[in-house]
Amino acid sequence: MALYLSQLMICLRPINLLLIFGMVCLGIVFGAIPGLSATLGIALLLPVTFGLSTETSFILLLAIWIGGVSGSFISAVLIGIPGSSSSIATCFDGYPMTLKGESHKALAVGITASFLGTFFSVILATILSPIIADFALTLGPWEYFSLCFCAITLVASLSKGNIWKGLMAAGLGLMLGCVGMDPINGTQRFTFGNTNLSAGISTVAQMLGMFAMCQIIRDSARGEAKMPDAETSRKKGFGITIMDYFENLRICLFSFLVGLWIGFLPGMGSGISNMVAYGYAKSTNKSKIPFGEGNPSGIWASETANNASLGGALIPMMALGIPGDGITAMLISALTIHGLQAGPLFMTSQPDLAMLIFACVLVSAIVTFIVQIMTKNWFAYILRIPYHFLYSVILIIAYIGGYGISNTMFNIYVMLALCLLSLFMSIGGLPTSPLVLAFILSSKLEGYFRRAISMDKGSYEKFFTRPLSLILLLLAVFCVIWPYLSDYLKKRRADKG
């Protein structure tokens, strides 16, 4: 507790509070504008962290993350277009409330639900992560390999469309992760004689190419660079009462638990949790207002769940070194940039930084809540920022960041090549999430596998005889066969009916 309080005091220093305030505001802007996101904001900030201390770097990255995820409900409410996949369900009732002249209340619900989900989930993450890390220290390379393998398979199986496309994308990620230095004996491989590849493909170049540049090109090609006008009327007061909290307490509690659990599972995240929570709230609705026609409970459910996923995703990242979603994968990359390794040993070897991360998320959540309350009447003007200004700035930052990785043009070429790869994957229907997760985990997956084989003198037996390792491997297999098994069961029920 003393360590946590000392790191909390660091976050509350005037200069750090100012940084958090600035990044939260920037994150809200990125989250509110469809096409931009917290993911893009972190990708653009990663190169900047090279010249900063580890503490300052994470204060910047975490603040823009919290602001971005929370801000995505703004466009969902005001114009019916979610700022990111985490607020898709918010559109269903948020925008109808705006059409009925209740945008003031809808925004107030979104602000409050987002804060409650983030605030309490990070408190639980702070308590649970050290406990899980202590347990993880008792595991061997067999369990860690199975855990990484299960995480990649789970993400691939949850990808939209054909599961084999998800597995193919994960395979591409593992191939990209093999470039560079062998994690066991240190020899170079797949570098084709190019010394620039001796350290592997830059994670920062990958993020900038596959997220920042690819997003801009896709949006321009689809003609998605314009948005409808948003309501700009100003209203006094907050918009909700104490009774609104109590009336939706049950929905908020369930949505919080759903978001926390789904955030904990690798690769699922807020994009799924908001839909699951909304479905529950809709199925238990006893209000006279139908869901989809402006029921505030839909916003309570969606925004509580998607923000609770933040704390859930922090737990596997901090305790196990496994990213819970795409953004925590980038945060793990940020640790790598600063010579640190996420996982159980991180909690014991760098406890001060671990507690700083939890404290910074907590402070960022509070600052986000205050900023959104103070600027609620200005939200509509955020959505009027011309796209051509934003995209020009983003491209410039991406090129500067790519060059700044090694002060050579090579990483610019890597960034462009990965942008093209992402575009071709988009055309072919291959999701990028499995690729990113597999790329991040590739060295761990290989390292744990080869270490386990070496420790057991070439035998594969312990992968299947150690209980936890076997359970994780069976879960990975189940993730692959479940879509087909589910279709078969549905077909049998239909035939019987």
What's the DSSP call for residue 180?
Answer: E
User: At residue 340, what is the residue type?
Assistant: L
Q: Which of 268, 278, 321 is nearest to 301 (CA)?
A: 278
Element (H, E) at 188: strand 188-189
Q: Which of 365, 263, 256 is nearest to 323 (CA)?
A: 263
Is pLDDT at 229 greater than 60 in this prediction?
A: no
**In the prediction, which pLDDT does 368 show?**
92
Euclidean distance between CA atoms 184 and 366, whole angstroms: 44
Euclidean distance between CA atoms 473 and 27, whole angstroms: 38
Greater model confidence, 118 or 84: 118
**In the prediction, which pLDDT does 238 show?**
62
Greater model confidence, 185 or 451: 451
Is pLDDT at 21 greater than 90 in this prediction?
A: yes
Determine the structural domain holding residue 352 and report its residue range. 2-496
The predicted model gives 55-70 an average pLDDT of 87
- Sorting pLDDT into bands at 50, 70 and 90, what band is 239? low
Euclidean distance between CA atoms 122 and 131, whole angstroms: 15
Euclidean distance between CA atoms 353 and 334, whole angstroms: 13
Q: Lowest mean pLDDT: which of 81-90, 191-200, 435-444?
A: 81-90
**In the prediction, which pLDDT does 18 show?**
93
Four-CA torsion 38, 42, 44, 46, nearest 10 degrees: 180
Element (H, E) at 189: strand 188-189
Spatial neighbors of 105 by CB under 8 A, at least 6 apart, are: 97, 239, 240, 296
Q: What are phi and psi of 181, to 5 degrees?
A: -95, 135
Number of independent structural domains in the chain: 1
* Tokens linked to 346: 């991180």
Residue range 282-325, pLDDT digits in tens: 777 777 777 777 888 888 888 898 888 888 888 888 887 777 66
Q: What mean pLDDT is reported for the chain? A: 80
Q: Lowest mean pLDDT: which of 50-59, 298-307, 447-456, 462-471?
A: 50-59
Considering the entire predicted model, what is its pTM? Answer: 0.74
Is pLDDT at 161 greater than 60 in this prediction?
A: no
Greater model confidence, 229 or 189: 189
Spatial neighbors of 407 by CB under 8 A, at least 6 apart, are: none
Euclidean distance between CA atoms 171 and 468, whole angstroms: 24
Chain centroid offset of residue 379 CA = 23
Is pLDDT at 226 greater than 60 in this prediction?
A: no
Q: Lowest mean pLDDT: which of 201-210, 447-456, 473-482?
A: 201-210
Euclidean distance between CA atoms 342 and 340, whole angstroms: 7
**In the prediction, which pLDDT does 246 show?**
81
Greater model confidence, 177 or 226: 177
- Sorting pLDDT into bands at 50, 70 and 90, what band is 366? very high
Instruction: Dump the DSSP string for 11-59.
Output: HTSHHHHHHHHHHHHHHHHHHHSBTB-HHHHHHHHGGGGGGS-HHHHHH
Burial of 64 by CB count in 10 Å (0-12 exposed, 13-18 middle, 19+ buried)?
buried
The predicted model gives 186-201 an average pLDDT of 82
Is pLDDT at 353 greater than 80 in this prediction?
A: yes
Alpha-carbon distance values, 455 to 46, 184, 462 (Å): 37, 13, 10
Is pLDDT at 472 greater than 70 in this prediction?
A: yes
- CB burial of 450-487 (b: ≥16 within 10 Å; e: otherwise) equals bbbbeeeeeeeebbeebeebbebbeebeebbeeeeeee
Element (H, E) at 181: strand 180-181
* Tokens linked to 214: 């690819």
Euclidean distance between CA atoms 32 and 24, whole angstroms: 12
